[in-house]
Structure 1
């Protein structure tokens, strides 16, 4: 049995598509997954399964609408193995996430698009924003004192944005720790 990080795009955002985490855990267990754990209410899950990541994503994308009513039908799922998730952290740009008092850092996980296509919608503001492509992820850093001048929000109106889900670096690191705990505990 393998342990996976599951990122759900489109739930519990701006009061839409509300999914209580206890209900999400029960739903995922009903779908056949084990050792299901959630982290904060924004669609971060760790679970165990004997399926390929694409099969897990499809099962969840098909199963969620049967258990929950969504205002927006665009619910996407990104599944990463423990090694894939560790690679996102291990391959971060030098210094990324290491100065949270100065910079706000996000991992923007890609769902069905490559980094080159995703990067095309970013237009970082000099002295405020920096973005780097990764394998299945975009690393975004904003100078905290200038966050209101950031251009990161401009990606929201693009069609590519529908294939992205954003996690703060703090959440990413907590999810990695949870992934390790579940992996080590089983």
Structure 2
């Protein structure tokens, strides 16, 4: 069995309210094991037979839609992929961890798609972007609250679904996985 993390977009924001206990129960009903949630925003740790994460993403997206009538992206990553989202983020340590994000994507955008996003007129002068592996790294400068650089805008420009987590949240999930591994 391999350990994975599902990062759901649009859960417990806007009108998509979902109790983490209900989400855990849905995972268990679908045959996933050792299911835990971390923070109440759609981060689920689970065990499953080792397989490509793309198939797991499709299965989880359908599960949430069928069981809860919610449309949201489910992005699946391993512990090492999450740790890389911290280590590879060129903005790490240059601003507050709550302002530096990784947006995990359901595929790899082209350089041309990224350039369209990075040069968009709505990006504030103090906001920075970098392309990652099935992700983009974002420094929101003064904060994400007033930014026009929304998930919807990013998804439209890159033509990929995604969900973002700040450095602090990613570090908490990696720490939880490391704690579990120590037993």
- TM bracket (short chain): 0.7 to 0.9
In structure 2, C-alpha distance between the alignment counterparts of 1:162 and 1:55, rounded to whole Å: 16
Deviations 1:32-55 (A, max 9, x none): 111111122221111111042223
The answer as to 2:131 corresponding to 1:136 is no
Structure 1 gaps, min length 5: none
Structure 2 gaps, min length 5: none
Alpha-carbon offset, residue 184 of structure 1: 3.8
Which residue matches 2:173?
Answer: 175
User: Within 5 A, what are the aligned runs for 1:11-50?
Assistant: 11-14=11-14, 16-50=15-49
User: Within 5 A, what are the aligned runs for 1:94-113?
Assistant: 96-97=92-93, 99-100=95-96, 104-113=99-108
Which residue matches 2:77?
Answer: 80
Alpha-carbon offset, residue 25 of structure 1: 0.5
Could you say if the C-alpha distance between residues 32 and 98 of structure 1 is closer, same or farther in structure 2, counting changes exceeding 3 Å? farther
Comparing 108-117 with 29-38, greater Cα deviation is found at 108-117
Could you say if the C-alpha distance between residues 29 and 172 of structure 1 is closer, same or farther in structure 2, counting changes exceeding 3 Å? same
Tell me the TM-score normalized by structure 2: 0.82
In structure 1, C-alpha distance between the alignment counterparts of 2:144 and 2:17, rounded to whole Å: 31
Alpha-carbon offset, residue 121 of structure 1: 2.0
CA RMSD of aligned residues (A): 2.7
In structure 2, C-alpha distance between the alignment counterparts of 1:132 and 1:181, rounded to whole Å: 30
Alpha-carbon offset, residue 62 of structure 1: 2.0
Tell me the TM-score normalized by structure 1: 0.80
Comparing 113-122 with 17-26, greater Cα deviation is found at 113-122
User: Within 5 A, what are the aligned runs for 1:118-137?
Assistant: 118-122=114-118, 123=120, 124-126=123-125, 128-137=126-135
The answer as to 2:3 corresponding to 1:6 is no
Alpha-carbon offset, residue 31 of structure 1: 0.8
Deviations 1:52-71 (A, max 9, x none): 2223222212222332133x
Report the number of matched residues: 177
